[in-house]
Amino acid sequence: MPITSPQFAPLSQLAADLKSGRTTSRALVEAALERIADRAGQGSTVFLQVDAEHVRAADDAHDALRRAGTVLSPLAGIPVSIKDLFDIAGQVTRAGSKVLENAAPVKADAVTVARLCRTGAVIVGRTNMSEFAFSGLGFNPHYGTPRSPWHADVPGEARIAGGSSLGAAASVADGMAAVALGTDTGGSIRIPAALCGLTGFKPTASRIPKQGPLSKTLDSFRPIGVSVACCALVDRILAGRDPGVPATRPLDGVCFGVLTNYVTDGVEASVANAVAAAINHLAAGALVEDVRFAPLDRLPEINRYPLVAIEAYAWLAS
């Protein structure tokens, strides 16, 4: 994918640069704020709220701690964006909607936000999203629609960033944050990560305490980053575990199943070729087998009244 935006380096490189003195937290955050404020960019569409004064005070504090020999975690002093679905103490959680624009500011951080802050992440701001997270396309008629970096500088070639964590992905793709906190119910992290050339995954839904869910059954909270290792590090922090990246394991003996029905229906040739190339890389060490999962063929029938819609209605109605 031709990415034209100056993204941040992976978290491991940023942590190493901070440790060696090659950069400072203030320098990293100023780079993020400069990208957000760039009138030629899309910061005003990607972010619904940025408190630059608070952000600068936080990164100065981390630089002072580092000079004193204290480093809270590999994420300390690094700019992170937060999807507008999460509570941040003293701020309004709009969930990408005008309906909640005048709601009272919340009194406490969501568990996920609190865990990021305890490990030293610098929250640069709240990112745009599909209204109430109810769309995988990534449109927002109220606050605008961020773009993918795909051919972003080519007139007439603009592409959507994907939803519902559209601002989260765009913030990382455009170098406005090193990593982003988003949510995934039916693809809301994986879709924008894919459309913006980033990494995102959906883990076990109950792995992290939830707040303000779209679907209590299917919601999952996770990061979007520039690498798998970035997501692995933040995943451990969000799960309340010691920050660090688990050791890689060899592919020998690992078996991967590749779905051949439903999810491949109507796929474009360029996408099919990219998937095939990725599978070929896996096949160099792992066992890869084609799999047909018959229940998927009944999904349109089963999903006539989707669980997400039912649970979302119950939440929003309350």
**Catalytic residue numbers, as ranges:** 83, 164, 188
129, 97 Cβ separation under 8 angstroms? no
Helix segments in 213-268, DSSP class H: 228-238
How far lies 133's CA from each of 166, 205, 243, in Å?
10, 16, 28
* Helices and strands in the chain, H and E counts: 11, 8
E strand or H helix at 36, and its extent?
Answer: helix 25-37
Strands (E), the chain: 47-49, 79-83, 122-127, 179-184, 199-200, 220-225, 255-259, 287-291
Cα-Cα-Cα-Cα dihedral sign, residues 243, 223, 228, 1: negative
- Alpha-carbon distance of 71 to 93, in angstroms, equals 30
- Alpha-carbon distance of 54 to 117, in angstroms, equals 13
Tell me the residue type at 287: L
Instruction: Name the β-bridge partners of 291.
Output: 259
3-state helix, strand, coil in the chain (%, to 5): 35, 15, 50
Token reading at 275 = 């998937």
Beta carbons within 8 Å of 291's beta carbon, 6+ residues apart: 257, 258, 259, 260
The alpha carbon of residue 77 and the mean position of all alpha carbons in its chain are separated, in whole angstroms, by 18
